[in-house]
Chains A and B, each alone.
Chain A
Amino acid sequence: MSFWIVNTLNGLSLAMILFLLAAGLTLIFGLMHIINMAHGSFYLLGGYIAITAIRMSGNFVVGAIIAVIAIAILGTLVQRLLLAKLYKQEMPQALLTLGLLFIIADIAFFTWGGDPQLVPQPALFQGAVRIFGVVYPLYRLFLIGWGLAVAFLLWMFLERTKIGAVVRAGMDDEEMVRGLGINMPLVFTGIFALGSALAGLGGVLGGPLLGMFPGADFEVVLLAFVVVTVGGLGSIRGAFLGSLLVGLVDNFGNVWFPQLSLFTIFVPMVVVLALKPTGLLGRT
């Protein structure tokens, strides 16, 4: 029994890191049709900047805020200065973000080196607690709570605010939204910055568990793409469901078939796509 509880909680905490990445990825794709490979770089830089900022400030929250703001600014610049110039040119945009992934990976390597580094855990959440009859790390529970809170806030934003409605309308028919007098270039920048910030937050909060190292950017963006493909591109609920599925499958897969880790992720993806090409909750 404790095996199931521990591994389910482990899967859920991984799922929440994936959700932080997948949420931005799916919004950016749904609205702008950008396959953003640099999303992994924002995760990696978020983690690395947090490591440095926490070390310098001695405070997890301060370091986390600095990292998330820095990544939001970086995302804004990338969208404004580069991607906006390639409006509606999907292939050049995708290649540009791939190029950014490589460039940022090199910059990160020169700046933070090649050894894996953990983001320091916040002091408040160190240690373990007893839950459902097992002793479980408090930080992972904190992570699950954060993921759920972010998911709820994002859902409220998209479904209950006017800007959220504009974003959904933009996914339906972006040109028509502009025809109503809505400043879509600004909405694009805002959503790209939000998505980037969430990826940075993913790096900050996932960093104490997964660590930052060369290649983590690609590893995590690959998983996040699996999540949004399974969940359905453009759907936040889909990203959430996909994160749970991939997080749990990956965790149990690693426990039972450690040699087949990629296999256990991609088989469910292929099965979902074969049965429902738009993903579980995809827009049609």
Chain B
Amino acid sequence: MEKERLFRLSAKKLTELLSKREISNLDIVNDVVERTQEVEPIVKSYITTNMHGAIASAKKIDKLIYKSIFKGNKVEPLMGIPIAIKDNISTEGMHTTCGSKILAGYRPIYNATVIKNLKNSKIVIMGKTNMDEFAMGSSTENSSFWSTHNPWNLSNVPGGSSGGSAAAVAVGEVILALGSDTGGSVRQPASLCGVVGLKPTYGLVSRYGLIAFASSLDQIGPITRNVEDCALLLNVIAGHDPLDSTSVLKEKEDYTEYLKQNINGLKIGLIKELMGKGISNSVKDSVYKAMDLFSSLGAFCEEVSLPSLKFALSAYYIIAPAEASSNLARYDGIRYGLRAKRVKSFRSMYRKTRSKGFGDEVKRRIMLGTYALSRGYYEAYYLQAQKVRTLIINDYKRVFRNFDVLISPTTPTVAFKIGERSEDPLTMYLSDACTIPVNLAGIPAISIPCGVDNGLPIGLQIMTPHFKEGLLIKTAYNFEKNFSFKLKPLYKKYRE
């Protein structure tokens, strides 16, 4: 009989075992390393692994845990728990590529604020995960290194752009992960991999050290296997940061407090516009069933309309590329990253470096964004998109007067086949239709598993007003508790 593998356990459970001294931190890290060696050649979640560093950290933490228990103290939450970091989050001295050739070899000279927070909590970093180049994509196929495979079905995509993080968590290469979400990049891969992904309110988690895609939309968020671990990780990364001017001054909350509450009397609205054309029947079914489950738990559920959401995708594909075109201007070959050789002048250095370093999708979005900002088009595209954004925000404000939370599918379909949409940008863009409005409005949202279709998971998206992450976690936790979902990839052996 196989011994009970630690990689399958939740962070909460592992902390219990550590507290009782039934296992050591090194046991946890060793098991996760072993699992990574088993599945990484097939799933390919990581760009860079930090196995030796992680083992060294675990040994140090074991001493701290021993001292702590000796003094009669508890083991702090998430202490010693392995985490994977999306490769667009700056880690000092550790290779950080953003999934791009243009940053091949780049070793940041500073840590992102979230990384400092993780280190303060003694969370163990296992490595940097694969992603669509500069977070532009919904399948992780746009990584300039390799594609990551969905652990539920290896010929399917894990979603994106945080596909590496979601796949690693789903398959048990790690217990926790961080992703980033600009138009759905945490929630969409979480949905396609059957795990939990949360995009916090814009401004709740510091962006300092997150390599920018679209500055007014980007947020770092946790990817975990259950809602409780998600709350624990959010506790660590949320909070004001003086290095980020868009970080909110707000008292810290303990999000695990909300796990104790029920949802009796909660008013839930199902967004009509996100249940229409393009949403597969199996996804619709699962969402309606979720609605029934909520009702059975004492919530009032109703359909609600936000007409402006029809235009969200259009506005997003102006705003995000426009900001990206400017954010990606710094990759010039001078101070870091790739630099083209044998150039005649500084202009040819720019052009050769950038043309060689950026992939197709990144070039496409730089072109789109540059065009949208250029003379004569700024008003029609960028400014108009910012006005549409106002309308979307107002729509959410209006419905949140009558509803506590909103729900929708996270993605229109389950995970698609690798290669299926890579030559068709617009269809690829449409896979973010349900998640994008949330980023434009800056509100928080979580994706949790709510069904399986043809062996592939389906995700439910829950949304609340700004800074109501507690309510979000409470709602998701009540659903999770009452919905039986088994994360199958954890038990797969992946052997021929």
Bound pair (A, B): no
